[in-house]
Structure 1
Amino acid sequence: MTKFRSIFWHRRDLRIEDNIGLSEASKTSENLIGVYVLDPNLLNLSRTTSEAKNWFLGESLLELQKNWERRGSRLLILNGDPIKLISKLADLVKAECIYWNENIEPYEINRDKKIKEQLSKDKRKIFTFLDQLIVNPSNIKTNNNDPYKVYGPFYHKWINIINRTKILTNNLIEISRMPEKIRGFNERELLSIKNSDLNYCISKESKPIYDLLISNRFKNTNLCPCKPGESESINQLNFFINSGSINSYSQARDIPSLESTSTLSAALSLGTISCRAVWNGAQISKKMANNEYQINSIDTWIKELAWREFYQNALINFPELEKGPYREKWLKFPWQNKPEWFKSWETGLTGIPIIDAAMRQLKYSGWMHNRCRMIVASFLVKDLLIDWRWGELFFMKSLVDGDLASNNGGWQWSASSGMDPKPMRIFNPYRQASKFDENGNYIRKWIPELTHVSTPNLLSGEITSAERKGYPNPIINHKNQTSIFKELYSSIN
């Protein structure tokens, strides 16, 4: 079999192991180098990313570079427009083939289309693969060949496809393996770059990464539960399994004061771990489970993987979700959009403890517990009457695990503007606090000025002036505001 000089382009797959595109490239390439492009359109702190996510990205790239070097090749880091840089790099190193794993966001799809056109003009071979989903979206259709719009039926189809076609006899998905050694391009072959404006990525390979990290203002890395890099992602998965957290997930997952979730969301978003490795970890846990309760907990966690794929399928099939509500009637909703209320919400100063604790967790750690994401989203939309897109954007600018499909899907679910069939779901923040933070541990952790307040007062929000010690009074009355929301909602029906 003829083997080629090739480039593998890393995107949302910042790992060596179980990387479908990279594995295929290694099989068919005589010489192989990797490249990652710091795309300004995806590093825009005003819209598409956060300081926390850039920290996670930079640290993960440093480890990925070392992993390439250990195998005998190298990962180049470019900074700029991929449409120009990928083609230019291929020309300079005389690469015959370019490999990458497909992405699902509208910008990336349009960008990749242009890159394919340019590479095809240059007579280069292009090989792309589906890596970030367990099931190919083209296979998940209704009997009428339409995309699913409701999670329940989607999940049943998804799990049936896996059980029927994707799983081996031991219930594990086959993992793509990489050889221990990769033959890269020797220094002479890379000399052509020295006279180009891409020279710095050969002479100072990590400079663009260090520039990204040095300019980054996210400093509370010790508070962030998501740990960057392929090795740490594997460690987090193993800890989640070996500690037994996966066996009690169905009950403990909603308690924000507990470290009971996998916190692999950032790893899955940037691909420092594969969705198949996560699936396999769950299946291994099921084999070791002692009872039905543990098996049900593991299945509950697997359903979270399905939610991730449901939202990604939704964005693939309905790319207009990026721009606005799935239910068009919400375009007519008369949002009040008070800037002063939004400021109180984003800074954790609404005077409602569970809301403020969650928003401060996000501010200081770059991450927020999923139960709390639902609570603060419902509050912004159905109490403060602020357009859910304000919250969606703020989350993308704040979260270490910001992901367009999951973030958009979660906000549209909370706002009742998405595909979910229950439009009038409203969370009472005080009831949510009493149910999921019954001892007030989560609130006290993130709002230290309230540590002295009794638990009943903390959860009900009935805090005296003397107890507040500078903590604000509630900016709204929950009952009154939700009544207004219902009236406004009836006006668009």
Structure 2
Amino acid sequence: MPTAVAVITRNVRVHDNPVLTAALAAADRVVPLFVLDERITSSAYNAPNRARFLADALGDLHESLRERGGGLVVRRGRWVEEVARVAEETDAVEVHVASDVSGLTRTRLEQLRRDLGRRSLVVHESVVTVVEPGVVTPNGRDHFAVFTPYHRQWAERPLRAVHDAPQRLTLPRIRAGELPDGAEICRGATSPELAPGGETEGRRRMKRWLNDGIAGYADRQDELAADDTSRLSPYLHFGCLSPVELVQRATRDDSPGARAFVRQVAWRDFHHQVLAARPDAARHDYRSRGDRWRHDDQAFDAWKEGCTGYPIVDAGMRQLAREGWMHNRARLIVGSFLTKTLYVDWRLGAQHFLDLLVDGDLANNQMNWQWVAGTGTDTRPNRVLNPLRQAARLDPQGAYVRRYVPELAGLAVPEVHEPWRLDPQQRRAIDYPERLVDLSEAAERFRAARGR
């Protein structure tokens, strides 16, 4: 009876998992294999929030596989060596794995192909994008540098078929290995309100979002206090949900909300195709502006701790610390504040986000930071998001600030956004920092630095 290995990377699910489906079609017995790669656990990318979420997801996947007669096989060590060892141990005829865009994953696949020898390595399209990076390209170039023309072609691509979850699978005789917990993957404290991981929870949230949330998304997606976003990004990042299935189900409802939501999914694919073509953009400016960033540890620490004196910025940073997640619009506000108001290097902000974000995706995180810093694909690289104007427009009643900055909870508008309006006696009564910087002076400094 032939055996195939289905390697679990960012496809921690049984529904619409092309890697698992293809392995089941190729062989009578299938080994769903997860390798806890020591190169990732020892890297700066590893972080406690994502570790706990991943541990939840792996446990949930194991239970789903057990219900179908199998289970998740776990190994620890060097990824290539462990995958090849399991293939040898089970005399597998094929090894199935999904592609990805990071330099590490591409290097791993090249090494695995060499190490497998006579065994076939079947590499499937990315399981975290709707359209594979490199499929949609402009004439004469390897990727789109502007989102709108990319989205136009992306939207015209037919969706592949969604695969059903397998009914049954059979494991060969093999040592299963123990599932890792979050502390083994990465030691450290997690955010106190971190969402639970796993496909079961992801599908519950997807169903609720498609039934009750998506219709009003176009009108409310930027309202910070309403928090009317899907919050599905962590489940997409780890592959607990299929982006193809999500888009297919979302497009059944041709409402403005559904179209706006699917456009956001396209942004994820856009960033993946940029990083696939320019892997150096994870650390280097996609488009250099000649910046000579300020080194100000005190200002950077105040920003990280949510103590800048600008409530809308501090609310976003405190939401990040509390939940391991932040509203997308708040991410733009705090990113602009760090890179353009404080004029601090985007790489420092990107790393802090990766330290905490449960949906911390290298392509989306780094390219979004470059976009807001003006070193990426933004067609208006010198735009500055004024935090006071953003607060007035996106949190007009101050509910978002009050939720995450409790020392300001008793203030009314406009003082909740501008506590310096209080008289000195009232000001002393609240334990909230003074403004870190004057916005006018900061804007002038940025204009001078960028030469405009």
Q: Same fold (TM over 0.5)?
A: yes
Q: Name the residue aligned to 2:415.
A: 457
TM-score normalised to structure 2 length = 0.95
Partner of 1:391: 349
Match of 1:31 in 2: 29
Q: For residue 478 of structure 1, what is the aligned residue in structure 2?
A: 439
1:157 aligns with 2:181: no
Contact 1:83 1:114 in 2 (8 A): yes
Q: What is the identity, as a one-letter code, of the residue corresponding to 2:209?
A: F
Aligned partner (choices 54, 75, 79) of residue 76 of structure 2: 79
One-letter identity of the residue aligned with 2:214: I
Amino acid at match of 2:34: Y
TM-score (norm 1): 0.87
The question of whether the paired residues in 2 share the 8 Å contact of 1:254 and 1:371 is answered with yes
Task: Give the gaps of 5 or more residues in structure 1.
Answer: 167-172, 194-200, 287-294
* Of 269, 284, 293, the match for 1:335: 293
The 10-residue stretch of structure 1 (464-473 or 100-109) with the greater mean CA deviation from structure 2: 464-473
Find out whether 1:319 has 2:314 as its counterpart: no
Equivalent of residue 374 in structure 2, options 416, 426, 450: 416
- In the aligned structure 1, how far is the partner of 2:385 from the partner of 2:186? 40
Tell whether the 8 Å contact from 1:61 to 1:209 is kept in structure 2 after alignment: no
- The partner residue of 2:313 within 355, 371, 376 is 355
State how far apart, in whole Å, the 1-side matches of 2:383 and 2:41 are: 34
TM-aligned CA distance change 1:487 to 1:211, over 3 Å: closer
Match of 1:217 in 2: 189
Separation in 2, partners of 1:319, 1:367 = 25
**Counterparts of 1:219 and 1:479 in 2: how far apart (Å)?**
35
Q: Check the 8 A contact 1:38/1:79 in 2, yes or no.
A: yes
State the partner residue of 2:122: 127
Give the whole-Å Cα distance in 2 for the aligned partners of 1:405 and 1:435. 29
- Letter in structure 2 aligned against 1:275: P
CA–CA separation in structure 2 for the residues paired with 1:453 and 1:250: 30
Conservation of the 8 A alpha-carbon contact between 2:41 and 2:186: no
> Post-superposition shift, 1:213?
7.1
Aligned residues: 448
Contact 2:46 2:186 (8 Å CA) reproduced: no
Q: Which amino acid aligns with 1:347?
A: E
Question: 1:49, 1:398 within 8 Å by CA — same for their partners in 2?
Answer: no
Q: CA RMSD in A?
A: 1.8
Answer whether contact 2:134 2:142 (CA < 8 A) is retained. Answer: no
Alignment of structure 1 residues 16-55 onto 2, 5 Å? 16-44=14-42, 47-55=44-52
> 1:399-419: CA deviations, max 9, x gaps?
010000000111011000012
Structure-1 separation of matches of 2:227 and 2:292: 39
Question: Matched residue of 2:338: which SS?
Answer: helix
Corresponding residue of 2:240: 272
Letter in 1 for 2:140: N
Alignment gaps of 5+ in structure 2: none
- Deviation readout 1:417-438 (Å, 9 max, x if unpaired): 0122111110000110111000
Look up the equivalent residue of 1:151 and give its one-letter code. Answer: F
| Corresponding letter in the other structure for 2:162 | I
User: Partner residue of 1:169?
Assistant: none
Using the TM superposition, give the Cα deviation of residue 86 of structure 1 relative to its aligned residue in structure 2, in angstroms.
1.1
| CA distance, structure 2, for counterparts of residue 105 and residue 233 of structure 1 | 24
> Which deviations, in whole Å up to 9, do the C-alpha atoms of 1:356-398 show, x marking residues without a partner?
1110000111000000000000000111110001001110111
SS of structure 1 residue aligned to 2:270: helix
Write the distance in 2 (CA, Å) between the matches of 1:214 and 1:318.
29
* Superposition deviation, residue 277 in structure 1: 1.4
2:142–2:277 contact (8 Å) kept in structure 1: no
